[in-house]
Amino acid sequence: MVRIAVVGSLMMDLVVRAPRLPAVGESLIAHSFQAFIGGKGGNQATAAARLGADVAMIGRVGDDDFGHAILANLRNEGIDTSGVFADPAIGTGVAVPIVLDDGSNAIFAVPRANLALGVAGIECARAAIENADILMVQFEVGMSATEAAMRIARAAGRQVMLSPAPIAPHPPGLLGLADILLPNEVEAAALTPEAGGDHRREAEALLSRGPGVVVITLGEQGALVATPGQLTEVSAFPVMAVDSVGAGDAFCGAFAVALAEGATPLEAARFGAAAGACAVTRPGAAASLPSRSEVQRILQSG
């Protein structure tokens, strides 16, 4: 069984379904409201665990009802939560995804306890990072914690996978600490304004900053996989999208598991695309993440 460590955010997702986004100053009646366990870190950890990985989560929640629910959910998924601290002084992070009728979404995030995760919290979880086959990180926790975790993993000879979401100011050279950089198309454009929105130029520019593999996820257009000297497009699997929240995290978790199991970046991206396709067919973030058998069915159908 492959080992994955995730340093990242843990949120309660308060999901509103609406026909469209309201204009400034407009009140709009929405279709529905639901609460789900979420956060990019928690989602990616859950995605990897459901696909058969041994997962350790490192993060921070509040010592409140939301935090307790998140911890219970992670444990039910078989995830090691010894690296998650429940902070009595700061509330659990909250995200408010707005899901539109076509399945697309926009998300407001209030990180709260996630930003209190610092270097000390990472040091407490050093063993989990050093023993993992792959470390997964994002930009929804304190940047000092993200950088510290990446440096520990690199020093231990472990692979580091960075999902630079949401885009945030980061130390020079941080992207170069990642072996695999996995932005979506919005993040790739923000990181490489000089590329003018050309995905191939974006991938080449990101490779020049140090990662050995760059994967730009493109939603229903699939993904672009870049390694030095090679750019390859991976097609999306045709499905009926209900809710795209969590699809990117499903891709990331599946990509990491496949890569840790020995797949090539291209094979891992196809596995990730199948996981993302499965996730968009169900509502919610963590709730939509697929099992291995579901991903295999999507792969076989394509």
Question: Would you call 201 exposed, middle or buried from its count of C-beta atoms within 10 A (0-12, 13-18, 19+)?
Answer: middle
Rg over CA atoms, the chain: 18
213 strand-pairing partners: 180
With CA atoms as reference, report the closest residue to 141 among 112, 106, 182, 120: 112
> CA-based angle 232:275:291, to the nearest 5?
150
Residue 263 amino acid letter: A
Q: E-strand spans in the chain? A: 3-7, 11-18, 32-38, 54-62, 80-87, 93-100, 105-110, 134-137, 159-162, 180-181, 213-217, 223-227, 230-234
b (16+ CB within 10 A) / e for 81-105: bebbbbbeebbbbbbbbbbbeebeb
Catalytic residues: 249
With CA atoms as reference, report the closest residue to 278 among 38, 16, 50: 50
Distance, in Å, from the CA atom of 44 to the CA atom of 137, rounded to the nearest integer, reads 9
**Are the beta carbons of 247 and 220 closer than 8 angstroms?**
no
